[in-house]
Chain A
Amino acid sequence: MLRLMTPTQPEVSAVPTPPPASNPLFPFVLQLADTSLILAHRLSEWCGHGPVLEQDLALANIALDLLGEARSYYQYAAELEGQGRTEDDLAYLRSAVEYRNPLLVEQPNGDFAHTIVRQFLFDVFHYELLIELKAGPDTQLAAIAEKSLKEAAYHRKWSAEWMIRLGDGTPESRQRIEKALRTLWRYAAELTSPTPLELDLHTLGLVPDYAELQARAAAYITHVFAEATLPVPTEAFRQPGGKLGRHSEHLGYLLAELQYMQRTYPGLTW
């Protein structure tokens, strides 16, 4: 219980509060937090290595937005859980199998085309999801979504324009974007494939209808691909798993780096 001695820890009341009838929203908010954090982490790996200075700044801006969003979700998740864990406990002290981000966001950066395809597929879904969460019944989640939606709208515009530039750019850029699509398309479906948890929450009105999100996302993707002169992939194979804690090997390495300090020096304040 070393952690409790650090000054940032809230006081623990003498009477242990009974474990709350585990709030069903908690794992979902945690999933949103993990998703934004992992993608922010990947984008932050670009810092200092972007293809041009202006885009280095753009990538970092998106990473900062997502990091801020992740922190809001983690703080809310910690509150929902009510066990005294902090945002950092949730981010730094959970193992890969406990992480609930979809597989897409943990995929490595690859070249700029890979990063753009991953970002675009995520942004399209993220934007539609936030619209629904903003209108949802949970006021705190709606407030986070409202703030994040403005950011996500910009991200979607940025990545869509890059899809178009690279798709309809040079033969090389087109070949690279097609290759990235072949690699990453299989992970897109997981975003809008509800898990049992999401289905339960949907019946409670807390999570939107993913079929509808999927339709809207597909329409937007079709529109952007047309402008990018790219055929929409017909690959039917889907690779789910992340939202259930079954991850690719990449996540372990990512977390080893992300959690290095907290794991090496447990219980300290930084």
Chain B
Amino acid sequence: MNNSEWPLWEVFIRSKQGLDHKHVGSLHAADAAMAVQNARDVYTRRLEGVSIWVVESKHIHASNPDEAAEFFDPAADKVYRHPTFYDVPDSIKHM
């Protein structure tokens, strides 16, 4: 097998002004400029976007699913962080 496969890039698209860029998928490209253009040609053929980010997949660092419990479960009992934890008297407005 030849080794001419282009690197893999992750594509993030802002669907309209005011919204976050959202991961939409990936593609192959030889360089960043080409990755942006390929993303335009592949992922915005139906007016899906107004802005594109690309990042080479190898540069993404992710949390480890095996550590998901220690990472995320401790947030579960901090109910006092949520506004619904507090009882506000009915007569109090604008809170």
Residues on A with C-beta less than 8 A from B6 are 52
- Interface residues of A, dominant DSSP: helix
User: Roughly how many angstroms separate A61 CA and B39 CA in the complex, as a whole number?
Assistant: 12
Q: Which of chain B's residues 1-41 have a Cβ closer than 8 Å to chain A?
A: 6, 27-30, 33-34, 37-38, 41
At the interface, yes or no: B50 with Cβ under 8 Å from chain A? no
Once bound together, how far apart are the Cα atoms of A57 and B29, in whole Å?
A: 13
Report the interface size for chain B: residues with CB under 8 A from the other chain: 12
A147: shortest Cβ distance to chain B, in Å? 15
Kindly provide the distance from the CB of B42 to the nearest chain A CB, expressed in whole angstroms.
5
> Is the C-beta of A176 less than 8 angstroms from some C-beta in chain B?
no
Residues in A neighbouring B93, C-beta threshold 8 A: none
On whether the beta carbons of A161 and B33 are closer than 8 Å, the reply is yes
Pairwise interchain contact B38-A54, C-beta atoms closer than 8 A: yes
Given contacts A52-B28, A54-B27, A54-B28, contact A161 B34 (CB under 8 A): yes
> Chain B's nearest CB lies how many Å from the CB of A43?
13
For the complex with contacts A52-B28, A54-B27, A58-B37, 18 further pairs of A-B residues with Cβ separation under 8 Å are A52-B6, A53-B28, A54-B28, A54-B29, A54-B42, A55-B38, A57-B38, A57-B41, A57-B42, A57-B45, A58-B38, A61-B41, A157-B37, A158-B37, A161-B33, A161-B34, A161-B37, A165-B30
